[in-house]
Amino acid sequence: MSQGFRRGEAAEAALLLAPLLVLLLVFILVPVLANFAFSFTDYDGLSSPVFAGLRNFIHLFKDPSFAASLRNVGVLCLYIPVGLFVPLLLAAMLREGVAGWKIYRAIFYLPQMLGITILGVLFQILLRDNGPVNALFDGLGLGFLSQRWIMSTGLAIHTTAFLLVVWLKIGFGLIFFLSSMNGVSESLYEAARLDGAGWWRIFFNITIPSIRSAIEFWIVFLFIEVFARTFGFIYTLTYGGPGYSTYTMEFGVYFNAFKNYQLGYASAWSVVLFFMCALVALLQVVIKRREE
């Protein structure tokens, strides 16, 4: 009787999961496998693919735009510690019950609601050479602060990195860390205060260790965002320029596929990007298992 009941449960579970599995197969697994196959071909999206062996990958590592994309992704990654610390610190401060903390939480989360494409267009207007930001500095007599924020080959990637990795993620990170901190026992904070611990000591010795898993998840999340979620913002803010100064791997996939019509070559970019994201996820799994 129990064995028949378990079989019935397994059949019901399989039936419920079947639609999801079909969707995953059709829209994720099949495209991923097709992308791997196309990466070994010359393919323009119209004519039939022609097998090219490793030619796309050889060309990839000689391509100056690919080298620039790796360099730019590296710069974006350098801002990840800031993208972690800022929302973590704000969440810890708001958790203390700052007056009007719900209003602050809503203000910080507002950019998350506007959407990355809208914000890219907005900052493209605000940060242009003759835009409102530079005009404000000039009007206040602070003209020395005026910069070519998104038109300088040296400054554009740093402007993009700060906005994309730090500023745009503050709202979501704030909500995420606040919810994580709510699971920390209040008795730990009370005991620390009785021992005379100050705010910073409590923050580093109790808050951070207590939500370590959430912090690790956020770091991996930011890495994945840097590798594979930058296109919409860069497309509307800088379009990868000036030159290759904000050209990322994700933007390179788009440009080679839909501007140069080299879908086979773009697939090779995608394969490298896939393995970079997979490596980050694998490192998280390895670290987690060692901790356990």
CATH code, domain with 205? 1.10.3720.10
Are 88 and 173 in contact by the 8 Å Cβ rule? The answer is yes
Q: What is the spatial distance between Cα 46 and Cα 276, in angstroms, rounded to a whole number?
A: 29
- Report yes or no on 143 lying in a domain: yes
CA distances from 177 to 16, 76, 79, 215, 218 (A): 33, 22, 18, 8, 9
- Report yes or no on 185 lying in a domain: yes
| pLDDT on residue 106 | 76
| pLDDT on residue 240 | 93
Q: Is 41 helix (H, G, I), strand (E, B) or coil?
A: strand
Q: What is the spatial distance between Cα 132 and Cα 138, in angstroms, rounded to a whole number?
A: 10
Give Cα 35 distance to the centre of its chain: 22
Strands (E) located in 30-103: 41-42, 50-51
Task: Give the CA radius of gyration of the chain.
Answer: 24
| pLDDT on residue 292 | 66
Beta bridge partners of 51: 41
Strands (E) located in the chain: 41-42, 50-51
Place of tokens 């207007």: 125
**Domain total for the chain?**
1
Domain residue limits at 207: 64-291
Q: Contacts by 113-119 with C-beta closer than 8 Å and gap 24+?
A: 113/171, 116/168, 116/232, 116/233, 117/232, 117/233, 117/235, 117/236, 119/163, 119/168, 119/233
Q: What is the spatial distance between Cα 226 and Cα 233, in angstroms, rounded to a whole number?
A: 11
Are 48 and 268 in contact by the 8 Å Cβ rule? The answer is no
Secondary structure element (H or E) that encloses residue 109, with its range: helix 101-114
Tell me the residue length of the chain: 292
239 burial class (0-12, 13-18, 19+ CB within 10 angstroms)? middle
Are 174 and 91 in contact by the 8 Å Cβ rule? The answer is yes
- Report yes or no on 86 lying in a domain: yes
Which amino acid type is present at position 80?
I
- Report yes or no on 1 lying in a domain: no
- Report yes or no on 38 lying in a domain: no
Torsion angle, alpha carbons of 249, 250, 256, 258, to 10: -170
| pLDDT on residue 100 | 66
- Report yes or no on 111 lying in a domain: yes
In tens digits, the chain (292 residues) has pLDDT values of 456 657 767 778 788 888 888 998 888 889 999 999 999 999 988 889 999 999 999 999 999 999 999 999 999 999 999 999 999 999 998 887 666 667 777 788 888 788 888 999 999 999 998 999 999 999 988 888 899 999 999 999 999 999 999 999 998 998 899 899 988 888 888 898 888 888 899 999 999 999 998 998 899 899 989 998 899 999 999 999 899 999 999 999 999 999 999 999 999 999 999 999 888 888 888 877 777 6
- Report yes or no on 21 lying in a domain: no
- Report yes or no on 10 lying in a domain: no
pTM: 0.87
